[in-house]
Amino acid sequence: MAEAAGFDIEVMIGPVLDAGARTLAYRDAGVATEIKADESPVTAADRAAEAILLAALARLAPGIPVVAEEEASAGRVPEVDARFFLVDPLDGTREYVRGGDDFTVNVALVERGAPIAGIVYAPARGRLWCGDVARGVAWRAHLHDGVLGERVALKVRSCRGVPVAVASKSHCTPATEAWLKASGCAERVSVGSSLKFALIAGGEADVYPRPGPTMEWDTAAGDAVLRAAGGHTLCLDGHPLTYAKPRFFNPGFVASGGHPSLPLRPFLTADTRPTDESE
């Protein structure tokens, strides 16, 4: 069992699978899309999946604050201390709306600014990843007829040759291209959502540069799986990415396995550098 500081993250596998099933049911029925104040899309599936996860956490981990994307968008953000959950019920909503498979359900436990356990589930792919950083245990499994199959241990690979980069389908920028060139990344895998972290954790890729802003609930679960598999995620200046920042805002980062990462900040221009009090 993947146990992190007294909380067994695996008790959330069932609710995560339920939330994923709900997203598929909404998609099959045809789901309407709204645009939030930050111009990102949201659907009834986001809200329904989040409700499942919040109810489960309230039952299984009472007293631990939960910061969830749609709750935060509605202005309902609890006070957090050293320990709290980050929940993204449907990461990759744009991919979801256009009928793609690269969307995920994400739950992470954060302790003293670092993700210590996380689950990433890709419902349309039937794949789930789980990681416990303290124990250094990370695994993935396929879902068959509602049942998780054999667990496969995850470990980042040692990158001795040309690194393979995993990049966003919708957020490639000149800064990303410049960083990839300077890092010698000639091969690239394009995938959406937190699946980018999962590919590195499983040794299918080496680096994921993201100079643009994200929110902490976008990254925490995948980051936890990656760290548990031996990888790391660094902020713009090359220090470990931390959590519980103001507004739960990530200015930029590089996630990597065994590949030494160049800092991203030198590749940002004045007009593309994120501006936020948390930078």
List the beta bridge partners of residue 256.
207, 232
Q: How far apart are CA 237 and CA 36, in angstroms?
A: 31
Query: For position 106, what pLDDT does the model report?
Result: 98
Q: Would you say residue 9 lies in a domain? A: yes
Same-domain pairing of 37 and 143:
yes
Q: Is 69 annotated as a binding residue?
A: yes
Task: Provide the pLDDT confidence category of residue 279 given band limits of 50, 70 and 90.
Answer: very low
Q: Would you say residue 158 lies in a domain? A: no
Same-domain pairing of 45 and 84:
yes
Mean pLDDT of 109-117: 97
- From 13-27, 115-129, 154-168, the region with the lowest mean pLDDT: 154-168
Query: For position 175, what pLDDT does the model report?
Result: 86
Same-domain pairing of 70 and 102:
yes
Q: Is 218 annotated as a binding residue?
A: yes
Query: Are residues 102 and 192 in contact, defined by beta-carbon separation less than 8 angstroms?
Result: yes
Q: Is 93 annotated as a binding residue?
A: yes
Query: Are residues 207 and 254 in contact, defined by beta-carbon separation less than 8 angstroms?
Result: yes
Q: Is 57 annotated as a binding residue?
A: no
Angle between helices 13-29 and 44-60 (to 10 degrees): 160
Same-domain pairing of 23 and 101:
yes
What residue numbers bound the domain in which 134 lies? 3-153
Same-domain pairing of 44 and 179:
no
Query: For position 164, what pLDDT does the model report?
Result: 93
Q: Please state, for a pLDDT cut of 70, what percent of the chain lies above it.
A: 92
Burial of 64 (0-12, 13-18, 19+ CB in 10 A): middle
Task: Provide the pLDDT confidence category of residue 41 given band limits of 50, 70 and 90.
Answer: confident
Same-domain pairing of 10 and 137:
yes
pTM over 0.75: yes
Q: Is 88 annotated as a binding residue?
A: yes
Same-domain pairing of 37 and 172:
no
Same-domain pairing of 123 and 258:
no
User: Can you spell out the DSSP letters for 83-128?
Assistant: EEEEEEEEE-HHHHHTT-S--EEEEEEEETTEEEEEEEEETTTTEE
Q: Would you say residue 275 lies in a domain? A: no
Task: Provide the pLDDT confidence category of residue 276 given band limits of 50, 70 and 90.
Answer: very low
Same-domain pairing of 132 and 169:
no
Query: For position 271, what pLDDT does the model report?
Result: 45
Query: For position 173, what pLDDT does the model report?
Result: 79
The secondary structure element, H or E, covering residue 49 is helix 44-60
Q: Is 46 annotated as a binding residue?
A: no
Mean pLDDT of 107-132: 98
Q: Is residue 49's pLDDT more than 90? A: yes
Same-domain pairing of 136 and 174:
no
Same-domain pairing of 45 and 130:
yes
Between 182 and 53, name the one with better pLDDT: 53
Q: How many domains does the chain have?
A: 2
Q: Would you say residue 171 lies in a domain? A: yes
Which CATH number covers residue 107? 3.30.540.10
Query: For position 42, what pLDDT does the model report?
Result: 85
Q: Is 102 annotated as a binding residue?
A: no
Task: Provide the pLDDT confidence category of residue 275 given band limits of 50, 70 and 90.
Answer: very low
Same-domain pairing of 146 and 8:
yes
Q: What is the pLDDT of residues 83-107, one digit of tens each?
A: 999 999 999 988 898 889 999 999 9
